[in-house]
Structure 1
């Protein structure tokens, strides 16, 4: 009888150990993405673009980047699919002199209330219709065609406020370790890395967002 009870106790303990081991291993085994591969955990977390308190999804992009143009449809769908408590933001990457005018254009169009109607349209005009939209003057012509006062647009685009914002953006992007576009940064903690498709980038973002929401709960 004692031996039988001891056997049952040993079996129970073994079962508990196996269950515990499985429970510990399950999250990693089930995770579809790997830290250090498809994404990286940032060494200095909580470097956010805002202090809204919501989970923050930032797409680092440029109107001068054809891959950002190709990702724009996925980005639109991603933004619309994000759950409550999550905000989607754009940060234009001023990586080089050729891309700085596009960063200026982003902030000028935002200030003028033209961002929603021109964001995808600029990608379309530059890469699908292949209009020459590169210089600040060419960019201003594009926005004038979409309702902006050309003089006001250029004034805002070249203002000290926009200069300061671009400088701030570059410092933040460098802190995140972003060296290409499009790149997604989730809540100032995770940065997309080696993804194989735009769909994977979108799916990875949703997974990281859910991970952050779960952690906050």
Structure 2
């Protein structure tokens, strides 16, 4: 049901552009409710985590330019709150194309400025529910300015070498995880959601895999 955006070849082209342009638990006696190769896939053994160590990590690959991500955002917010101790929820802003690069830059600027918590859902609402023109970096700067962020601070951080490097690293992770659409969730660098039937199932599969991974880590 989710729109697929780019092949691995296209991801390589995006990564190259960034380099050049500074640019989806049961008890032991229960049958597993989801199957490898259907609702989720097992990633290659050398696939990395987003962070090399720490808690079991659940990473949503998303974009502020993706309407499916906008629909999933409140569900994802509940998912984050429902995950057990020992599991951490993270976001990775995909830059599958030139149009999505400003959204990735905006995400990291908001994170650096400490306003991500109060602006994450609000940005989806403004863009897709209220239909504000929010696509370019200038338009994004206007959005954050309306939420108390100094426009110059936003632009300085969003266009910084640090953010460019982070987007470049993210592109490498997305390629290693074989992500070709959003929203997609990667669990501990080992599993990736795949053919889910609904956004609610995307959340359920994620919770099941995270709990299973946490149980195996104990």
TM-score by length of 1: 0.86
Structure 1: which 5+ runs fail to align? 1-25
Equivalents in 1 of 2:213, 2:189: separation in Å? 11
TM-score by length of 2: 0.86
CA displacement at 1:62 relative to structure 2: 0.2
Bigger Rg over Cα: 1
Q: Match for residue 40 of structure 1?
A: 41
CA displacement at 1:209 relative to structure 2: 0.7
Aligned length: 192
Equivalents in 2 of 1:157, 1:53: separation in Å? 27
Q: Match for residue 179 of structure 1?
A: 180
Q: CA distance change for structure 1 residues 199 and 90 in 2, over 3 Å: closer, same or farther?
A: same
Equivalents in 2 of 1:210, 1:112: separation in Å? 32
The Cα offsets for residues 154-193 of structure 1, whole Å up to 9 and x where unpaired, read as 0000000000000000000000000000000000000000
Write the mapping of 1:82-97 to structure 2, written as runs, cut at 5 A: 82-97=83-98
Q: Match for residue 4 of structure 2?
A: none
Q: Is 1:56–1:89's contact at 8 Å kept on the other side of the alignment? A: yes
Equivalents in 2 of 1:85, 1:51: separation in Å? 15
CA displacement at 1:53 relative to structure 2: 1.8
Q: Is 1:57–1:185's contact at 8 Å kept on the other side of the alignment? A: yes
Equivalents in 2 of 1:213, 1:139: separation in Å? 37
More helix by share: 1
Query: Is residue 54 of structure 2 the alignment partner of residue 53 of structure 1?
Result: yes
Q: CA distance change for structure 1 residues 27 and 46 in 2, over 3 Å: closer, same or farther?
A: farther
Q: Match for residue 139 of structure 2?
A: 138
Pairwise CA RMSD of aligned residues?
Answer: 1.4
Q: 3-state DSSP class of the match of 1:104?
A: helix
Query: Is residue 201 of structure 2 the alignment partner of residue 200 of structure 1?
Result: yes
In the TM superposition, structure 1's runs of 4+ consecutive aligned residues that sit over 2 Å from their partners are 26-29
Q: 3-state DSSP class of the match of 2:153?
A: helix
Equivalents in 2 of 1:30, 1:148: separation in Å? 50
Q: Match for residue 108 of structure 1?
A: 109
Q: CA distance change for structure 1 residues 66 and 99 in 2, over 3 Å: closer, same or farther?
A: same
Q: Is 2:60–2:183's contact at 8 Å kept on the other side of the alignment? A: yes
Equivalents in 1 of 2:47, 2:64: separation in Å? 27
Equivalents in 2 of 1:118, 1:165: separation in Å? 20
The Cα offsets for residues 24-45 of structure 1, whole Å up to 9 and x where unpaired, read as xx96971110100000000135
Query: Is residue 171 of structure 2 the alignment partner of residue 170 of structure 1?
Result: yes
Equivalents in 1 of 2:30, 2:116: separation in Å? 42
Between 1 and 2, higher relative CO (CA 8 Å, sep ≥ 6) is seen in 2
Structure 2: which 5+ runs fail to align? 1-26
CA displacement at 1:213 relative to structure 2: 1.1
